[in-house]
Amino acid sequence: MNAADPQRVVTVARSWLGTPYHDQASLRGVGCDCLGLARGVWREVVGPEQLPIPPYSRDWGETGPREVLAEGARRMMIEAEPAAAGPGALVLFRMKPRAIAKHVGILTCPSSFLHAYERLGVIEEPLTQSWRRRIAFAFLFPQR
């Protein structure tokens, strides 16, 4: 499986900037959450979604024996070493120690990323050390 062009991924992701936050939605300009942003980028870069997305909780402190987001991503994407992930990579954040990875972003350059954040919608912001240390997994979008 070959990776999609990272610049195309970034361009598509940036086209979602300003989309309002809406839990479990995935409509550019209308509303999305962090996973909805990734799903929308997937549809434009790769094609139709391959798996139905079951309802999920917004609890960033959720614990459990399974990394559900990472397991799903492994089935459809190319796993990358988080420290080596570059622009266009989908990153999964573990927001609390011992919690499962529950937040998703897309790297836009070595020092910034896009994500959907409650009350702010889709924003691009610096990948500060605080954000960087929370990255638990990284994946590349496959080529169409």
Report which residue type is found at 38. A
Q: At 98, list the tokens.
A: 């011992």
CB within 8 Å of 44: residues ≥ 6 apart? 12
Q: What is the pLDDT of residue 51?
A: 77
29-40 pLDDT tens trace: 999 999 999 999
Report whether 101 contacts 39 (CB < 8 A): no
* DSSP calls for 12-55: HHHTTTTPPB-TT-EETTTEE-HHHHHHHHHHHHT-S-SS----
Q: Does the pLDDT of residue 57 top 80, yes or no?
A: no
Report whether 32 contacts 22 (CB < 8 A): yes
Over residues 15-24, the mean pLDDT reads 97
Q: At 139, list the tokens.
A: 């994946």
For the chain, the average pLDDT equals 93
Q: Does the pLDDT of residue 1 top 90, yes or no?
A: no
Q: What is the pLDDT of residue 144?
A: 84
pTM, two decimals, is 0.94
75-120 pLDDT tens trace: 999 999 999 999 999 999 998 888 899 999 999 999 999 999 999 9
Q: Could you tell me whether strands 26-27 and 112-117 are parallel, antiparallel, or unpaired per DSSP bridges?
A: unpaired
Q: Does the pLDDT of residue 54 top 70, yes or no?
A: no
